[in-house]
A and B are shown apart, each in its own frame.
Chain A
Amino acid sequence: MAVKVSMKVNGKPVSAEVEERTLLVTLIRENLRLTGTHVGCDTAQCGACTVHMNGKAIKSCSIVAMQAEGADILTIEGVAKADGTLHPMQAAFKENHGLQCGFCTPGMVMNALEFAKGHPNPTEQEVRESLEGNLCRCTGYHNIVKSIVAGAKAMAGGR
């Protein structure tokens, strides 16, 4: 059977006819073609699929799309300015070499920028704890932590 699901994604109202068992990440990637949200593990471990739902970071592979009915969803595509200017958190990842292959990066950035809103001046330890749900196979995390500390400060400064 198919159901209609409607929500706001990156500020725009969207709706789609999907099967009930469609995951939120599947809707985002396959129906909406927003492929910046990645699927690393499909088992709620890696965080590559992290998006914001009503302002909170969640793993979009671990809920069905119907759970986001009426919600406000933000994906990595909605983070930079329309003219392409990077969000301060994205810029911090670039400046601090916070990525190598880039597969984990969208999830890292989505989690980090929500975390940074509540922690404008986080310690390295707080940042490491905030990354419990995000795995990276390349960087060894050091530069990701540096990026988030810098990004959080930049976000606080820009306010």
Chain B
Amino acid sequence: MRAFNYHRPSSLKDAAALAAKQAEAKYLAGGQSLVQAMKLRLSAPSDLVDLNAIGDLKALKADGSGVTIGAMVRHAEVAASSAVQKAIPALAALAGTIGDRQVRHMGTIGGSLANNDPAADYPAAVLGLGATIVTNAGKHEADKFFKGLFETALKPNEIITQVVFPVPKRAAYMKFKNPASRFAIVGVFVADFGGNVRVAVTGAGPCAFRQADMEKALAAKFAPESVANIKVKADGLNNDLHASPEYRAHLVTVMAKRAVEAALK
């Protein structure tokens, strides 16, 4: 790991000011992606601005009208929250499938979204539920947030503060996971808002994306058979040692069908 300076500001304002002053500062959430990348020298920031002392980023609220998750809320807290389990069970369940319990004790929603790993789980929920990503500079709609491989709409030094999820009538997430890391080889989040259906896919492409054909078919009839015969094109899908683009395309349909089945249970 390259040397860096370490800062732990206690307010959002100080954090942004500190980062702006440095040539190559990075925010530190749980370190579950960033520390790994720094060990491999894939990332070599001049300064780390640790967000752990900023209390405002740790709030978690959920009721019938929505779920608001602070950027520094850990995956384990979302998974275990009875309020989230009640408001959007699929979201709590998704958080409980991220990595392993040690990773879930440190990893955060803000870090996961800012990182935008192509195989990450939260992007599927954010896009599938049409959530709003709130930052110190404004708001981002989910549909305009995920820009590409590890690329988001965040400006340099912009800080995610919270994520606001609307409550669907029903929803579910199904992932075909990499057995070693639990990252999604393909994951599909399906949410039914009563006539308006959103289907978001992670793991398959450079970043999470929506599947319009499935959304249309499910809006007409929310049933597994509506998506069972929808073929997804393999063009542009990820190709790595875990799965070919053709296999991932096939998995999108299978996971979507299973997600609809689960949402109906």
Interface residues of A, Cβ cutoff 8 Å to B: 1, 3, 19-21, 23, 42-45, 47, 50, 53, 56-59, 62-64, 66-67, 69, 111, 115, 130, 132-134
Chain B interface residue count: which class? 20 to 34
Question: Closest CB-CB distance, B102 to chain A, in whole Å?
Answer: 5
The 28 sampled A-B contact pairs (Cβ below 8 Å) are A1-B3, A20-B4, A20-B6, A20-B48, A21-B2, A21-B38, A43-B36, A43-B39, A44-B36, A44-B103, A45-B180, A47-B100, A57-B101, A58-B102, A58-B105, A59-B103, A59-B106, A62-B32, A62-B106, A63-B30, A64-B6, A64-B31, A66-B6, A67-B52, A69-B8, A132-B99, A132-B182, A133-B99
Question: Closest CB-CB distance, A142 to chain B, in whole Å?
Answer: 18
- Contacts A44-B32, A45-B180 hold; do A133 and B6 have CB atoms under 8 A apart? no
**In the bound complex, do residue A21 and residue B1 qualify as a contact, i.e. CB atoms below 8 Å apart?**
yes
Residue numbers in B under 8 Å from A115 (CB-CB): 101
**In the bound complex, do residue A133 and residue B4 qualify as a contact, i.e. CB atoms below 8 Å apart?**
no
Question: Closest CB-CB distance, B24 to chain A, in whole Å?
Answer: 14
- Contacts A56-B105, A64-B6, A67-B52 hold; do A133 and B100 have CB atoms under 8 A apart? yes
Question: Closest CB-CB distance, B23 to chain A, in whole Å?
Answer: 16
Does B60 belong to the interface (CB within 8 Å)?
no
**Chain B 209-240 residues near chain A, CB threshold 8 A:** none
Tally A-B pairs: CB < 8 A. 74
Residue numbers in A under 8 Å from B35 (CB-CB): 23, 62-64
**In the bound complex, do residue B101 and residue A111 qualify as a contact, i.e. CB atoms below 8 Å apart?**
yes
Nearest B residue to A44, CB-CB: B36
**Chain B 1-57 residues near chain A, CB threshold 8 A:** 1-6, 8, 28, 30-32, 35-36, 38-39, 48, 50, 52
Q: Measured between alpha carbons, how far is A44 from B102 in the docked complex, in Å?
A: 9
Q: Measured between alpha carbons, how far is A19 from B33 in the docked complex, in Å?
A: 20
**In the bound complex, do residue B31 and residue A57 qualify as a contact, i.e. CB atoms below 8 Å apart?**
no
**Chain B 59-118 residues near chain A, CB threshold 8 A:** 76, 99-103, 105-106
Residue numbers in B under 8 Å from A3 (CB-CB): 6
Question: Closest CB-CB distance, A117 to chain B, in whole Å?
Answer: 12
- Contacts A47-B100, A64-B35, A66-B8 hold; do A21 and B106 have CB atoms under 8 A apart? no
Question: Closest CB-CB distance, A102 to chain B, in whole Å?
Answer: 20
**In the bound complex, do residue A67 and residue B76 qualify as a contact, i.e. CB atoms below 8 Å apart?**
no
Residue numbers in A under 8 Å from B36 (CB-CB): 43-44, 62
Question: Closest CB-CB distance, B100 to chain A, in whole Å?
Answer: 3
Question: Closest CB-CB distance, A16 to chain B, in whole Å?
Answer: 14
**In the bound complex, do residue B101 and residue A21 qualify as a contact, i.e. CB atoms below 8 Å apart?**
no
- Contacts A44-B32, A62-B35, A62-B106 hold; do A132 and B5 have CB atoms under 8 A apart? no
